[in-house]
A and B are shown apart, each in its own frame.
Chain A
Amino acid sequence: MTEWASYTFEEDNADGAELALAGRLIISSVGSLDGELRNIDRPIARVDIAQVEEIDTVGAWLVWRLARDHDAEITGANDKAQRLIETVRSSASTAEIAPPRMPVFERVPEIVGLTVTGWGKGAIQLVGFFGSILVAFWGMVRQPSRFQTKALVRQIELVGVNSLGIIGLMSFLIGIVIAQQGAVQLRQFGAEIYTINLTGRITLRELGVLMTAIMVAGRSGSAFAAQIGTMKLTEEVDAMRTIGVSPIEALVIPRILAAVLMMPLLGFFSAVIGIIGGAFLADVALDIPFFTFLARIQEVVPLHDVWVGLVKAPVFGLIVGLAGCYQGMQVKSNAEEVGLRTTMAVVQAIFMVIVLDAFFAVFFTEVGWD
């Protein structure tokens, strides 16, 4: 299909041969010629391009490189070819295309080392970040006019109100699963009625808040990181600084505050919907009437279960918000980093939430809120 450019050896003198190029010496038809020319190992005295029909800078480069490598003379060049060869000659360069990569046995230890020291540095930076948030927060307390109410309201809408639907649906389904699976097991002891205890306690105490935190980390923590990260790339954050707006005050605090404030509400909402899901299943499949289920919840769930959930929720919100904003602010150079940092924000937040949840579980049992 493509007509490749070609070459022939014309004559063989004592000082080497004359190589004649023919055809179209343009980018779309030199692909195979390049390899062939590289493999020539006999001396060439002259490169003749009188037979060339068409030439562009790539063709000119090939001709010039061939002449340079073999110390040959270029003949038969028309005016255009002459100018192109001159252009590429003056632009020749030996630069690296990409920064040099070290060999594997040096690169791997380096990456390991950098990762380990990175943890230490990351911990220090995170503490520093938290500190600067506290300082900015204290500044706002003393000077409430600096508080960005509008931004906070907007974030509350994004983090809280807009996630009601998905969190409600998730919780309803989880409530159904708990009640259904619980009933199957408890039936074996004739203790089916305890399905109510199980559903009520586990949603209010554990799953409501935990699942909500995971959902908020995936929905909002990632959004925080990606949005702040992109703003760093486009120098919006720097622009804010120069006009005296602190990015911590304008971007970070409203987001973290929204997460801290919304988490208890969302967590409680999730638990309530989970119980409704359980009650729905009980009504349909277990012959426990819907309202009987709800009335029994009041009797079998101790009030401190609600408190356990409500104490954990803002802490989880803080972790999700902090991870998202911190990772966003760490973005420096390119679009790939925004993606990596967003992933890291979500993974870190979920991991920390689960670790803390285990800690809280042991703690509350020890203090007698079992």
Chain B
Amino acid sequence: MAENQQPDIVEEAAPNEEHYNGDYAIVVEGLTNRFGDQAVHENLSLKVRRGEILGIVGGSGTGKSVLMRSIIGLQIPSEGHIEVLGHSITEAEPDEQIGVRSRWGVLFQGGALFSTLTVGENVEVPLRQFYPEIGDELRHEIARYKVRLSGLPEEATSKYPSELSGGMKKRAGLARALALDPELLFLDEPTAGLDPIAASAFDRRTRELTDTLGLTVFLITHDLDTLYEICDRVAVLADGQVIAVGTIPELLATDHPWIQEYFNGPRGRAAKASRKRAKAMDKQPSGKA
């Protein structure tokens, strides 16, 4: 254990919260969520910076999905204040909410595709809803390239959700989340159920889109490779609160037992090692495809 205390990957040290004076895409303050007498969140606070990929980790059932549902306004919190892209979600007028809704895309944990529509038509739904002035032809074209962009083969465009594999459903959900070129992307376990090749392709593409479009990504994941590869910072959820936020080396420097076990368990070490190997490979100009 002790050998791993020392962070051996040195990232560009991200500025601490106190030093950051940029814009926040999401601000959650004093959030409390209760189901009956089970409190899922207790006075939780979290700030997501604009343009970053924030990974959310935590044990199963610690309330990551519920946190996401609260932020996008599907779950009315018992207490607390939530602001997204400068608009209050908890006290928003319906009109205002619609405006914000066209600026984010959501990938649900279960995909949540519309089962009576093909993949292409699924992507067209938000386009039709928010931009009725876009002509049929352009809308079809957008749907087509979004489907490819999310990593699906061309033929999948005209398939119904019931004809897709589990991983394909995930990617179709991503295509729909990307339909409006959103500023803010919510992804609930996007790489769960993908094969390792598809998962790293997904990681690469998310990073690419974030850099090109200036996206902010709220990324719930259990995938340690994703965390190491693309997340700027990681927030750890436990006991109904965010117990730590920071880059992975910063998290490793804390001595919370759950965080230590999470990143220094066998899987955590493997992900770190593969990350190191990848970095070494990048330095050698070897002929890789």
> Which residues of A approach B to under 8 Å, CB–CB?
26-28, 30-32, 34-35, 38, 56-58, 61-62, 65, 80, 83-84, 87-88, 90-99, 233, 332-336
Contacts and interface: CB of A to CB of B under 8 A. Distances in A.
B144 A335 contact: no
Contact of B148 (A35, A92, A99, A335): A92
Contacts of A97: 118, 120-121, 124, 140, 143-144, 157-158
Interface stretch (B8-16, B89-97, B128-136): B128-136
Nearest to B156: A95
27 contacts: A26-B181, A27-B131, A27-B134, A27-B180, A31-B134, A34-B134, A34-B135, A57-B145, A57-B149, A57-B181, A58-B142, A61-B141, A61-B145, A84-B213, A87-B149, A87-B209, A88-B145, A91-B148, A92-B144, A94-B154, A95-B144, A97-B140, A97-B143, A332-B162, A334-B116, A334-B162, A336-B116
Contacts of B2: none
A92 B160 CA distance: 21
B145 A95 contact: no
Given A91-B148, A92-B148, A35 B135 contact: yes
B161 interface: yes
A95 B147 contact: yes
Contact of A65 (B124, B127, B141): B141
B147 A93 contact: yes
Contacts of B157: 93, 95-97
Contact of A91 (B116, B140, B149, B156): B149
B6 interface: no
B136 to A, nearest CB: 10
Nearest to A26: B181
Of A93, A334, A335, the most chain B CB neighbours within 10 A belong to: A93
Nearest to A89: B145
A87 B137 contact: no
A92 B181 contact: no
Given A96-B120, A97-B157, A334-B160, 18 more contacts: A27-B127, A31-B131, A31-B134, A34-B137, A56-B213, A57-B149, A57-B181, A58-B142, A61-B145, A87-B149, A88-B145, A91-B149, A95-B120, A95-B144, A97-B120, A97-B140, A333-B160, A336-B116
Contact of B145 (A91, A233, A335): A91
Contacts of B3: none
A332 B161 CA distance: 12
B149 A80 contact: no
Contacts of B149: 57, 87-88, 91
A23 to B, nearest CB: 15
Nearest to B124: A97
Contacts of B165: none
B115 interface: yes
Of B137, B147, B161, B213, the most chain A CB neighbours within 10 A belong to: B213
B138 interface: yes
Interface residues of B, number: 38
Contacts of B141: 61, 65
Nearest to B151: A91
Contacts of A94: 144, 154
A250 B184 CA distance: 46
B37 interface: no
Contacts of A335: 115-116
Interface in B165-198: 180-181
Interface string B269-281: 0000000000000
B155 interface: yes
A99 B118 contact: yes
A30 B138 CA distance: 10
Contacts of B161: 334
A57 B213 contact: yes
Contacts of B60: none
B212 interface: yes
Contact of B158 (A27, A35, A95): A95
Given A80-B212, A97-B158, A99-B158, A58 B144 contact: no
B208 interface: yes
Of A34, A61, A98, the most chain B CB neighbours within 10 A belong to: A98
Nearest to B141: A61
A28 B118 contact: no
Contacts of B181: 26-27, 56-58
Contacts of A87: 149, 208-209, 212
A112 to B, nearest CB: 23
Contacts of A91: 145-146, 148-149
B160 A93 contact: no
A58 B208 CA distance: 16
A93 to B, nearest CB: 4
Given A65-B141, A97-B143, A28 B131 contact: yes
A62 B145 CA distance: 12
Closest 6 CB pairs of A and B: A31-B133, A97-B120, A334-B115, A91-B148, A95-B157, A333-B162
Contacts of A80: 212
A98 B162 contact: no
Contacts of A65: 141
A38 B137 contact: yes
Nearest to A4: B133
Nearest to B140: A97
Contact of B138 (A34, A84, A90, A334): A34
